[in-house]
Structure 1
Amino acid sequence: MVRNPLTSEQIEAGRRLGRLLREARAGRDLGGVAHAAGMSPETLRKIETGRLPTPAFGTIVCLSEVLDLPIQDLAAAWRNDLRLEAAS
């Protein structure tokens, strides 16, 4: 199965999501948060920097729980700016 390339909008949405997660993690150790969420520190680093712009839903749910960040906020980071761009 061949995966279609991501659009520029999807890539930017992944960057917004990564920024929100990085801000929510604040002073917490990246490795500690990653392990608590069941992933490697490198995976979390890739998500936070936008190098992994479309993480699996289960990954986002785990990060939401570990960071005590409502999943709705993560969805808004992905979705809301895209709607604003489409309206422009």
Structure 2
Amino acid sequence: MVRLPLTRAEVERGQRLGALLRRARGETSMLSTALDAGVSPETLRKIESGRVATPAFPTIAAIADVLGLSLDALWAEINQSDGGVEPARSDRHAGERLVS
């Protein structure tokens, strides 16, 4: 399978996503956030640094759940060119998991 190069917009969206997740994580360690989300710390580091511009939806959903972020607000923010709004926290408690 050949993967097409990312567009500039996709790269910029990935950078906004990474910055948003870093801000939302705050002082919480990358290791504990990653483990709570069920992803590797390396994966979280790559997403936060913008090196993975198009992470899988389940990965982002799990990280957002751990950080208490609303997926709707996260999506709205990363798709804005200025990225100036703070993401809304969900009503979930950080320990609750999404049920599929």
Task: Using structure 2 for the length normalisation, give the TM-score.
Answer: 0.78
Tell me, yes or no, if structure 1 residue 2 matches structure 2 residue 7: no
Identity percentage of aligned residues: 50
Report the counterpart of residue 31 of structure 1 in structure 2: 31
* RMSD over equivalenced CA pairs, Å: 1.2
| 3-state secondary structure, aligned to 2:43 | helix
Report the counterpart of residue 12 of structure 2 in structure 1: 12
Q: Choose between structure 1 and 2 for higher RCO, CA contacts under 8 A separated by at least 6 residues.
A: 1
Paired amino acid for 1:21: L
Paired amino acid for 1:76: A
| 3-state secondary structure, aligned to 2:34 | helix
Superposition map of 1:2-81 within 5 A? 2-81=2-81
Distance, in Å, in 2 between the alignment partners of 1:19 and 1:31 is 17
| 1:78 CA displacement | 2.4
Unaligned stretches of 5+ in structure 2?
83-100
Report the counterpart of residue 86 of structure 1 in structure 2: none
Paired amino acid for 1:67: L
After superposition, what is the alpha-carbon deviation per residue over 1:43-70, rounded to whole angstroms, capped at 9, x for unaligned?
0000000000100000011011000011
| 3-state secondary structure, aligned to 2:61 | helix
Aligned residue pairs, count: 82
Moved more, 13-22 or 73-82: 73-82
Task: Using structure 1 for the length normalisation, give the TM-score.
Answer: 0.88
Distance, in Å, in 2 between the alignment partners of 1:4 and 1:77 is 25
Deviating 4+ runs (over 4 angstroms): none
Contact 1:13 1:77 in 2 (8 A): no
